[in-house]
Structure 1
């Protein structure tokens, strides 16, 4: 399990990478080792309503290292809120990296796995769903429609959701989620150290009005031809086309020999679809030689746009917290990191999740195997069904041998009737 103490001297081959780590500024790092309770405050939010869920300190039902523990939701249909404080800082002129690992052991069907960064002063004992936050980031799953990574940024007291769709992981294993925000207002979202989305705050959030807008005064010219295809003036309907019947008499049909016109009426042959009938006539289409394309209003500078070079800045970051509602509990959080160096975050992920993922997967597979074996023992459907069928056949044979009686148990009588018919 990774520890906070690292020695940057012993291994010459990794001096450069360790120098990069040493130069990173770590604002908060929580591996949930001994003493973690002194750094985190459990909120009383929803406690009076008896809806506040309890956290378990555990490595989970399956893991890559039983000594590497985190905090896990433990009660269904509960609200959860817990937070930790760190020295206040601003990310102005700095890269901000927010990273943590999360595992949904309960095969989550509706619930969150996100965390929040908060600014200014808050009462941690009252931290809850109404507490203002600066950044909300992480996976959210609910039904078939919602399986995405939230990335919500607060600007001028308004929460802004990312406009791009970033799918999250939905299995029951640990995954690492990383949000990187840079001073040039670009960002990256990583899952398990792999970039899943990137772009700009200007384009991927509606934080500021757009720089360019369609000219509201522009109008499509009257002579603008936006029909890509037109009827072919050379294509004419063939003479007699409308006279072609849909059906014709079957030429192969013959009057039955026993047909009596006096008794049966005049015989008329049945009809069949006419192979010559092609349906209603439509004029062929050709490319319009005057087509100018779909008309679009020209773009102009938006008079309401006012740039903010500090659009990426959160000047008073001071808390990190988890606040969520869970229908089914079992989500485990670990390895929370706030720093200014993506490489440091990447190495921490590799030293924790990266070293344990294979062992965790093996432990999960073994747990699933045992679960399936136990379920088959508790509900041996196939073997019971076979035994019942054998017994029914034997009972039916005995009854049949004794007196061919029709009066038997319901299942036996049905089986016997079928055999009699056959």
Structure 2
């Protein structure tokens, strides 16, 4: 626990091997590496925990001095970098009570909070914000989109004692609101009155048929009529083919089903609204935000393609301090990281272009060689033809000529 004035920083992660404990619940958990990755802003400062094996579950956690967030804000902050072009995998953290057995941590271990990005295919690209309330996990009812590129991104969750929350990505607010409104922690305050029923004489028809409107006498026409231009074929044999009838065509005078015109309903009362009453099962709770024994931060996730790097973990009760630390860490290295990534992409693109050029040149050379071989074959055939013709001429000249 690091205390600065009235501000408490419960977890500020710089050393990992001495603090992080890998779960032994399963024997085939994926292994973690400490690395800054293939591109970074600072080779040392950007070192973080990286998943290193494909198609594996991962489970590791770090313990800190237990505390309660009663009466104060709780800030959970970290960075995630999916430099492997993630296709399906979690990038979230879990906050556990201090009594968790770290060596046995697994997917069903009870936690307080789950927060962070989750990506799987094109359909799932969201930020999880899940709170455990009275033994049940509650998912946020709003959809928060996460970042899905290959750069490092900062995720921040702020939980306030006034039962409000805020989610930030890259130090910018992307969602906020009330815990009671955006999660189903409590039964609704109001419910429909089970005793109320719509009155039988309640007229909710905005329009009605005009009783004075009558159908025109010439309205009814057949939908189809015989084609007046059709003629019986000259070879029609009634004994063989039966009586000839002209084909039917749509009737241009057909008007369809007649309906009286609509007029405003003089007795219209509008839509009936079911009256509501106070829900007898609703009981307010001003401590939804509160967790009494916060003591462990964990990474418990599955990844199809490994390579995600987690870094800059922070748990504190000071929102301003979290912003400042974000600027000092991710804020300093994000642009150099982006620049290094761009340089690598440019170099890779240039190498691919050069490789494609070489392949095109080789293909052209092969075509030229084939063409030269074809020409040589044609030249040889021409020489053979000439030699054969010359030989025939010499034989003809050598024959004795008939005397006149």
Task: Find 2:127's aligned residue among 149, 155, 159.
Answer: 149
- Distance, in Å, in 1 between the alignment partners of 2:193 and 2:177 is 26
Task: Find 1:163's aligned residue among 128, 141, 145.
Answer: 141
Contact 1:39 1:85 in 2 (8 A): yes
2:158 matched to which residue of 1? 180
1:54 matched to which residue of 2? 31
SS at match of 2:329: helix
- Distance, in Å, in 2 between the alignment partners of 1:147 and 1:215 is 40
- Distance, in Å, in 1 between the alignment partners of 2:88 and 2:225 is 58
SS at match of 2:59: strand
Is 1:135 the equivalent of 2:135? no
Contact 1:250 1:270 in 2 (8 A): no
Deviations 1:280-324 (A, max 9, x none): 444444444433333232221111122222121100101111100
Contact 2:220 2:254 in 1 (8 A): no
Contact 1:218 1:298 in 2 (8 A): yes
Deviations 1:215-238 (A, max 9, x none): 122211112222334334455443
Match runs of 1:340-355 below 5 Å: 340-355=317-332
Question: Offset of 1:86 from its aligned partner?
Answer: 0.9
SS at match of 1:304: coil
- Distance, in Å, in 2 between the alignment partners of 1:29 and 1:93 is 22
SS at match of 1:125: helix
1:359 matched to which residue of 2? 336
Question: Offset of 1:273 from its aligned partner?
Answer: 5.9
Task: Find 1:227's aligned residue among 205, 228, 237.
Answer: 205
What root-mean-square deviation, in Å, do the aligned CA atoms of Structure 1 and Structure 2 show? 3.7
Question: Offset of 1:111 from its aligned partner?
Answer: 1.1
Match runs of 1:207-286 below 5 Å: 207-243=185-221, 245=223, 262-263=234-235, 277-286=254-263
Alignment CA distance shift 1:384-1:79 (3 Å): farther
TM-score of the two chains, using structure 2 as the length reference: 0.79
Alignment CA distance shift 1:166-1:278 (3 Å): farther
TM-score of the two chains, using structure 1 as the length reference: 0.76
Structure 1: gaps of 5 or more residues: 7-20, 403-422
Is 1:125 the equivalent of 2:103? yes
2:8 matched to which residue of 1? 25
Question: Offset of 1:349 from its aligned partner?
Answer: 1.7
- Distance, in Å, in 2 between the alignment partners of 1:143 and 1:381 is 35
Contact 1:46 1:79 in 2 (8 A): no
- Distance, in Å, in 2 between the alignment partners of 1:95 and 1:37 is 29
Structure 2: gaps of 5 or more residues: 239-243, 380-404
Is 1:316 the equivalent of 2:293? yes
Question: Offset of 1:368 from its aligned partner?
Answer: 3.0
- Distance, in Å, in 1 between the alignment partners of 2:172 and 2:71 is 25
1:85 matched to which residue of 2? 63
Is 1:40 the equivalent of 2:20? yes
Deviations 1:253-285 (A, max 9, x none): 9x9xxxx96347999999876665555444444
Aligned length: 370
SS at match of 1:319: strand
